[in-house]
Amino acid sequence: MILEASAKLNLSLRVLGRRDDGFHELESLMVRLDGLADRLEIEVSDEDHFSCDAPGVPADDSNLVIKALQLFRRETGIRDRVRIRLEKRVPHGAGLGGGSSDAAAMLAGLNELSRAGLPVGNLTEMGARLGSDIPFFLGPPVAVVKGRGERIEEGPSLPSMRVVLLKPGFGVSTPDAYRRWQDSRELEGVDYTPQTLAWGDLVNDLERPVFQKHLFLAEVKGWLRRQDGVEAALMSGSGSTMFAVIDEKADADGLIARAREELDPTFWTWVGRTVAG
Ligand code: C5P
């Protein structure tokens, strides 16, 4: 069975407060990306086997895919051996939900492969135990996500938007971003105010703590907002991917070439569209 585990963007991410369990209460408008996805192949086999084309991806239970497999086995008692092949296309530490999407695909895939027939609500609840972003990937492609990430509501109707993604060589630690959120200060000269498009506002409350540590990302945001054809520019999740919503006629390749020349020649980049809701 071959599964596509697509990446996400947070079009808005509001942090409402810190909870007693250490997590943060969120309200986020999340959307899947069309065509940016990891590929996960799973089949019943004589023995468990895991392989991945990306170097350094662990094959033990520090990997969310393996955690998902173990949790599924514990919850269902189904112990079929499985052969797993993971092709990574979505960079990690990027705020694009790559690992979470893999885990969600794994839960959904195992449910089908083993004919366990668990309702999606059970899969979502299992996903939430593994990571805050996982429930989103088991729900609709455009969703408003609440709680610590486990409450999923169908999102507003959104057009498919053209986006350019720029990710520098470094990633950002999510726990670190949240830890800094409360005490973070705004950097002078950086504009954090919501950017209004026809369907609503783009804003990310984690920009403040993350930019304080990674000034370069603030520079990328400012730079993107000054470019022709850019309607809005924001960090996704806890970073380090910065994305721009661009108009239909914008020269995306030219934008990327200039970003590489003027900001960072080693950017990982992607041009495509969000999934319409
Ligand atoms: O749930 P997940 O393991 O993806 O979260 C990683 C870390 O991000 C958590 O350990 C926590 O520090 C932080 N986090 C948070 N509030 C959320 C989601 C994540 O504080 N709603």
Convert the pLDDT of each residue in 10-65 to its tens digit.
Answer: 999 999 999 999 999 999 999 999 999 999 999 999 999 999 999 888 888 899 99
Which phi and psi angles does 104 have, rounded to 5°? -65, -45
Could you identify the atom of ligand 1 that is nearest to the CA of residue 131?
A: 1
Known catalytic residue at 133: yes
Residues 23 and 140 in one domain: yes
Residues 225 and 129 in one domain: no
Residues 150 and 173 in one domain: no
The CATH number linked to 126 is 3.30.230.10
* Model pLDDT, residue 250: 98
Residues 17 and 98 in one domain: yes
Residues 85 and 219 in one domain: no
Residues 145 and 168 in one domain: no
Residues 35 and 123 in one domain: yes
Known catalytic residue at 102: no
Pick from 154, 178, 212: which residue ends a domain? 154
Does ipTM surpass 0.90 in this model? yes
* Model pLDDT, residue 159: 95
User: Annotated binding residue at 209?
Assistant: no
212 within 8 A of 239, measured Cβ to Cβ: no
Amino acid at 148: R
**Positions of the chain with pLDDT under 70:** none
Residues 136 and 7 in one domain: yes
- What DSSP character marks residue 227? S
Amino acid at 54: A
* Model pLDDT, residue 59: 86
Question: Token pair 């509501």 is at which residue?
Answer: 153
Pick from 102, 127, 154: which residue ends a domain? 154
Q: What's the structural domain count of the chain?
A: 2
* Model pLDDT, residue 177: 97
Among protein residues, the one whose CA lies closest to atom 15 of ligand 1: 23
Pick from 117, 136, 154: which residue ends a domain? 154
Residue of 44, 130, 120, 118 lying closest to 79 (CA atoms): 44
Any ligand 1 atom below 6 A from CB of 15 = no
Q: Ligand 1 centroid to 175 CA: how many Å?
A: 6
Length of the chain: 277
* Model pLDDT, residue 248: 97
Residues 145 and 185 in one domain: no
**DSSP states of 13-81:** EEEEEE-TTS-EEEEEEEEEEEEEEEEEEEEE-SS-EEEESSTT--SSTTSHHHHHHHHHHHHH-----
Residues 7 and 115 in one domain: yes
Any ligand 1 atom below 6 A from CB of 155 = no
The CATH number linked to 248 is 3.30.70.890
Strand partners of residue 7: none
* Model pLDDT, residue 102: 98
Alpha carbon distance 124, 130 (integer Å): 10
Could you identify the atom of ligand 1 that is nearest to the CA of residue 178?
A: 20
Among protein residues, the one whose CA lies closest to atom 9 of ligand 1: 175
**Residue 23's domain spans which residues?**
2-154
Q: Ligand 1 centroid to 130 CA: how many Å?
A: 10
Alpha carbon distance 229, 248 (integer Å): 8
Q: Ligand 1 centroid to 264 CA: how many Å?
A: 29
* Model pLDDT, residue 95: 98
Residues 50 and 14 in one domain: yes
Q: Which of 8, 67, 88, 167 is catalytic?
A: 8
User: Annotated binding residue at 77?
Assistant: no
Residues 58 and 124 in one domain: yes
Q: Which of 67, 133, 167, 205 is catalytic?
A: 133
